[in-house]
A = this chain, B = another copy of it.
Amino acid sequence: MITATRQVPHATPTKSADHTRIRLLIHGGAGAILREKLALDREQAHRRALTDSLHAGHTVLAAGGSSIDAVIAAIVTMEDSPLFNAGKGSVFNHEGRNEMDASIMDGDSRMAGAVAGVTTVRNPIRAAHAVMTQSKHVLLIGAGAERFATEQGLEISDPGYFYTQHRWKQLQQAIASEQIMLDHDADAESAASDNHEKHGTVGAVALDCFGNLAAGTSTGGLTNKRYGRIGDSPIIGAGTYADNRSVAVSATGVGEMFIRTAAAFHTAAQVRLLGTPIDQAAAHTLTEIAAIGGEGGLIVLDPQGRYAMRFSTGGMYRGTIGYDGIAWTGIFTDN
């Protein structure tokens, strides 16, 4: 009698620490983010939030922490910010609830964890990590995933915690216009503040001083979504992938297209199988997505610290930080 699957790390040679190679990349969603439509205070707020996330991850890496812990620290910071469509600030589904998804993967062991359709876990990325480390499984969904997170002692929040007024207005607008809206798409009323926001999924990829990669992604999905719709964020291979033999990837965009093209894994596969430079690999993945009518962005990082932040949309909230601790943030095509 064989018990269920166990995530078996493969043997890892002991690696020496090199604190100069640490690197973290983050994204806070891609979309039609245009400089002329983004109010300066909104731009500054987003840049501050991205910078906070970069510093949170950098603190972990600089102290010799693992890439997994850096990814968690960076993503938790964005989940806790109301500016992004993940954790607090998640969009509302048709029933007026926040239904969140997240995934995480360790590039050394290729262990992975994910949750989908959770409504009360304050930090879905922590739940994904608990699935990876404390269960034999990779993907848990719905009430079962919440029960697991609760049993693991993760912080459970009242639904009111996730509420933000502008997401609620977006839902009412969407219901009125019978549209399923992408992430935090604009509505007519709040166009000035929201028109720049799309695909507000957050993600991070990190390289630690031991040369290990990790990737993670977290999202609130689509405004007014129904029927338990799940996008690419909790899907290992679509929204998230990490493999020390190639790259770590986190994606954001039209989730369905990223699933159909196995976007994160495809990016890694090009690097591993063909030796494609990572920027070209990311660009080709976006070309594949465009061929079926999709758009979005990717952050990609390899074990040498080379990285790419590619998007086919007007802009992507993004940033990176390395050994020197100087946070770089970008939003538009020209930064």
Contact = CB atoms under 8 A, between A and B. Distances in A.
Contacts of A10: 291-292
B182 A143 contact: no
A150 B137 CA distance: 29
A140 B228 contact: yes
Interface stretch (A72-80, A154-162, A234-242): A234-242
Interface in A287-335: 291-294
A255 B5 contact: yes
A288 to B, nearest CB: 9
A145 B292 contact: no
A226 B5 contact: no
A230 B291 contact: no
A42 interface: no
A240 to B, nearest CB: 11
Nearest to A195: B1
Given A222-B4, A259-B112, A139 B236 contact: no
Most buried by B among A143, A180, A188, A292: A292
A250 to B, nearest CB: 15
A116 interface: yes
A141 interface: yes
A266 B237 CA distance: 10
Interface in A128-179: 135-145, 147-148, 177, 179
Indicate the member of A143, A237, A292 with the most B CB atoms within 10 Å: A237
Contacts of A294: 5, 8
A188 to B, nearest CB: 8
Interface stretch (A14-22, A50-58, A269-277): A269-277
B227 A145 contact: yes
A2 interface: yes
A229 interface: yes
Interface string A1-43: 1111111111000000000000000000000100000000000
B138 A260 contact: yes
B259 A236 contact: yes
A296 B262 CA distance: 21
A311 to B, nearest CB: 15
Interface of A: 1-10, 32, 105, 109-112, 116-117, 135-145, 147-148, 177, 179-182, 185-188, 198, 222, 225-231, 235-238, 241, 254-257, 259-262, 265-266, 269-270, 273-274, 291-294
Given A145-B228, A236-B260, 10 more contacts: A1-B179, A4-B222, A4-B225, A5-B254, A7-B256, A117-B141, A139-B230, A141-B228, A148-B227, A237-B265
